[in-house]
Amino acid sequence: MSTSLTLHHGDLRCELKPELGGCIAGLWLGDVPVLRSTPAADLHSVRQSASYPLVPFSNRIGNATLQWQGTDHPLIKNWAPDAHSIHGVGWERAWGVLDATDTFALLSYEHKADPAWPFDFDASQAFKLDTDALEMSLSITNQSAVSAPVGLGWHPYFVKRANSRLVFAATGRWDMGADKLPTHRGPSTGVDADASTLEVDHCFDGWNGAARLFDDVLRTTITSSLSRLVVYTTPARDTVAVEPVSHVNNAMNMVAQTGVSAEELGVCILQPGQTFSCDMRITVERVQ
């Protein structure tokens, strides 16, 4: 059975589709889409959604094989023709609804080890709508009998209108090779650019937890407790993905391949029963 939830507070409206990867179908201020938005009843692919959760990892795990503590765990290649495993499993699975009101929703997902991810976990998402903001939290609890690597984040697609400008500060940027995996980190001050001409597909670290996207219609601010930001857009795209994440792309494998510590790359190692949580807020206002 198809289910959807609509949250509304003043002029701000958010539609969720729990069965479709626990995704946000759309976020609007009045009739103006803040994110790439489709009415939940008309959304049939999470790849076309406004935003989806990244759990239990962000971006790619190289060649769809998790290298962890001396063991290779083959994963599913889930972004054809990409050779890697991408964005975790939460965005591909149905989430249950634990609670819902006009302004709040709590979703849950229980994962049992399978070919897509070899560790048991529980995850939850909370959405709270205020007059000018959507607040989100995301949590994961390790339900395995052994320690497990985890990462969290969100993948929102913001509408790129005429004269859109993206601004945020960072201290470093991970450049990617032709295989879409990170090659090296270099210094970066972040981005302050016209989004219409921006071509970027990188993970920035040392992010101060705030980013602004503004145009002739809306001023949008993204804030998060996370310290890394993946940004993806090209001049041909009508959206810009601004993704708060906990770890560097392919970080779990880089721990094994480079000897760089999990902590430095942002990988959280949860012992059995431990929980990791993060939050994000999208604040939006009309340009007067």
Mean pLDDT of the chain, nearest integer: 96
Look at residue 2 in the predicted model and tell me its pLDDT.
Answer: 61
The per-residue pLDDT for range 189-236, each reduced to its tens digit, is 999 999 999 999 999 999 999 999 999 999 999 999 999 999 999 999
The C-alpha atoms of residue 53 and residue 246 are separated, in whole angstroms, by 12
Query: CB–CB of 260/185 below 8 Å?
Result: no
- Rg for the chain (alpha carbons), in Å? 18
For 123-139, what is the mean pLDDT? 97
Look at residue 80 in the predicted model and tell me its pLDDT.
Answer: 85
Find the farthest-apart pair of alpha carbons in the chain and give their distance in angstroms, rounded.
Answer: 57
Neighbouring CB atoms inside 10 A of 250's CB total 26
pLDDT surpassing 60 at residue 1: no
Residue for token digits 């479709």?
20
Q: What's the full length of the chain, in residues? A: 288
Number of domains comprising the chain: 1
Q: 246 pLDDT band (50/70/90 cuts)? A: very high
For 251-276, what is the mean pLDDT? 96
The residue type at 224: S
For 105-123, what is the mean pLDDT? 98
pLDDT surpassing 60 at residue 30: yes
Q: Tokens for 190, please give them.
A: 């972040």
The C-alpha atoms of residue 157 and residue 260 are separated, in whole angstroms, by 31
Q: For residue 24, give the CATH number of its domain.
A: 2.70.98.10
Structural domain boundaries, residue 29: 5-286
The per-residue pLDDT for range 80-108, each reduced to its tens digit, is 888 999 999 999 999 999 999 999 999 99
